[in-house]
Structure 1
Amino acid sequence: MGKVSKASTVQIEEREIRISNPDKVLFPDISLTKWDWILHLTRLAPYILPYARRRFLTMIRWPHGVGGESFYQKNAPSHIPDWISTASSGKLNYILLENAPTLVWLANLACLEYHLSFDRADDPGMPTELVFDIDPSVEDFDRVIETALLTREALRELDLDGVVKTSGATGLQVYVPIQPIYPFEQTRRISHFLADYLAGRRPDLITLERKVDKRGEKVYFDYLQHWRGKSLIAPYSTRARPGAPVSTPLTWDELKPGLTPQAFTVNTIHKRLSLKGDPFQKVVQPASPYRLDPILAFLNRKKR
């Protein structure tokens, strides 16, 4: 994309943002510089921002690029511009990823990953989806695919359905859009019920064991991450891994043996979006988000 000067200023939606060290290589294996990566992000902004808005942001920063040291950051830095929105939750003051200038300003800080809360700042404690994080214990993505398809099958038995996306790393994540009227305690009951059902149905494949060294080759079905104060990688965020992979929403018919998350990177995502569109729109703007009352009523009867 061309070499740039040691410092450049870009104008994004009437905001001037200084990009420091634009030639710094952030993804060494593909020689991707900060400048090139920010150009990718500006193209992805229309897909990242609709879901990100009003959600508490957890940043993961790699000041020296992938392979260097990294750190999590939840509190907004003291030096943020006054045009960046924030919201408090407990003792933390989170940045809200509301617009493209905020995305680029954070990118200049080498924030390579954007992790978002399950609830919104204007309605805290009320998640907008049920979310399940499915991770392999060994390098076998086909087992993750099988688990995700079983998850969808179980959801449809409950008259629910969702959208699947790659984590950008090694797993898959399933999002079920719901009406944001159920606190985390209620969504946890349903998530736990589904997790127990799946682990009981396929104990050879699925585990709820959090300790990696006790899982063997089983796929970890993580329902515990979905909770207040926790977060998950944003759709279309990059991951700080070789190749600059992107957390990519998929259609269910794409989950076939041989699929790999490494196929979806900053260098392939734009063509994919132009050809296939954005499957995550079903989560961002669901036609009819699900009510959970029938399932909660069933669990109450089951408990009694």
Structure 2
Amino acid sequence: MKASTAPLKLSNPDKLLFPDAGITKFDYVKKLHDLAPFILTYTKERNITTIHYPDGVNGKSYYQKNIPDHAPDYISHRMIDGIDHIIIDTVESLLWMGNMAALEFHIPFNPIGSPDNPDALVFDLDPAEGQPFSQVVEAALIIRQNLESIGVKSYSKTSGATGLQISIPLGRKLSYNHARELNLFFARYFTNKYPKIFTIERKVIDRGKLLYFDYLQMWKGKTIICPYSPRATKTANISTPVLWEELEKGLKPEDFTLHDIMPRLKQMGDLYKPVIGSGLDDGIKNLVQSLKKPNA
């Protein structure tokens, strides 16, 4: 990670980006600087999609993938599938995006150098409207218990909004097609075993009060909220990796915000790093082999 050396002229530093949390643009950029070592781990080798809120979280927003004409020379970019994507690979580029009121950072499931192989299987647990987060936690723990029973190690993080995401390292050893088959296998398994908890119904109106097990989001060209990215919520939540023991004790997305995340990160470090740094999970390797057997 490069040190910040390029000058940054902060525009409207007193503008409230998170009014309810009392966070101005100056505060926000300062907090991004603190978060930089964690965020850059996941953005530095990936084309990024950002969501900007020029007038703060209560105002209008817009998505951005391509580098704008007014971007300074120190902003990295790369042409991918006809789009000249921004690459946030330095502290100064992250802070520049903060000055542009980028409040959310979404990343693809693979780095640029591995376009056909995702880092991990990802189960995106999306609650129904009005469904309490405690039920999302209970569902995640059920998934973890089942995965442990077949020797699969998984990692969890809050989305920072309303859901949880569970990841299983693949070490970029499987193609997107193969990973999608495994995600579908697990989605069907959990919805069949726990039909009163999970659904894979894509139409929101048909989900009822069931938890949506989103196995489709993990795909080439799609994105997921970056670990340690802020979210455009009133309480300035952070998408935060959490220990399973913490989920067992109970937590909520608002427990992790721009105001209080740094002491936790200084104490616990990056809990999510094994997701992109580990090889293919042994349990998944064994499952793949068993599914290949004629009578599996």
- TM-score relative to the length of structure 1: 0.91
> Residue 265 of structure 2: SS of its match in structure 1?
helix
Q: d(CA) in 1 for partners of 2:188 and 2:61?
A: 35
**Residue of structure 1 equivalent to 2:7:** 16
Q: d(CA) in 2 for partners of 1:89 and 1:73?
A: 14
CA contact (8 A) 1:116 1:232 kept: yes
> Residue 160 of structure 2: SS of its match in structure 1?
coil
Q: Are residues 56 and 158 of structure 1, via their aligned partners in 2, closer, same or farther at CA, if it must alter by over 3 Å?
A: farther
Q: Indicate yes or no: 2:169 matched with 1:173.
A: no
**Residue of structure 2 equivalent to 1:143:** 135
**Residue of structure 2 equivalent to 1:48:** 39
Could you tell me which runs of 5 or more consecutive residues in structure 2 were left unpaired when the two chains were aligned.
none
Q: d(CA) in 1 for partners of 2:11 and 2:118?
A: 37
AA paired with 2:266?
S
Could you tell me which runs of 5 or more consecutive residues in structure 1 were left unpaired when the two chains were aligned.
1-11
Q: d(CA) in 1 for partners of 2:108 and 2:83?
A: 13
Q: Indicate yes or no: 2:207 matched with 1:199.
A: no
- Within the candidate set 33, 51, 56, 1:65 is matched to 56
Q: Indicate yes or no: 2:115 matched with 1:86.
A: no
AA paired with 1:241?
T
Q: Are residues 273 and 293 of structure 1, via their aligned partners in 2, closer, same or farther at CA, if it must alter by over 3 Å?
A: closer
**Residue of structure 2 equivalent to 1:4:** none
Q: d(CA) in 1 for partners of 2:250 and 2:118?
A: 33
- Within the candidate set 200, 204, 222, 1:208 is matched to 200
Deviation at 1:131, TM superposition (A): 1.1
Deviation at 1:296, TM superposition (A): 3.1
Q: Are residues 80 and 158 of structure 1, via their aligned partners in 2, closer, same or farther at CA, if it must alter by over 3 Å?
A: farther
Q: Return the structure number with greater strand share.
A: 1
Q: Are residues 257 and 221 of structure 1, via their aligned partners in 2, closer, same or farther at CA, if it must alter by over 3 Å?
A: farther
CA contact (8 A) 1:29 1:243 kept: yes
Q: d(CA) in 2 for partners of 1:303 and 1:85?
A: 50
CA contact (8 A) 1:154 1:194 kept: no
Taking every aligned residue pair, what percent have the same amino acid on both sides? 40
> Residue 88 of structure 1: SS of its match in structure 2?
strand
Deviation at 1:124, TM superposition (A): 0.9
Q: Are residues 153 and 34 of structure 1, via their aligned partners in 2, closer, same or farther at CA, if it must alter by over 3 Å?
A: same
AA paired with 2:219?
W
CA contact (8 A) 1:87 1:121 kept: no
CA contact (8 A) 1:75 1:94 kept: yes
AA paired with 1:116?
I
Deviation at 1:247, TM superposition (A): 0.5
CA contact (8 A) 1:56 1:117 kept: yes
CA contact (8 A) 2:31 2:258 kept: yes
Deviation at 1:116, TM superposition (A): 0.3
**Residue of structure 1 equivalent to 2:290:** 298
Which deviations, in whole Å up to 9, do the C-alpha atoms of 1:97-150 show, x marking residues without a partner? 211111001111110000000011112121111111111103311111111112
Which deviations, in whole Å up to 9, do the C-alpha atoms of 1:6-26 show, x marking residues without a partner? xxxxxx621111111111110
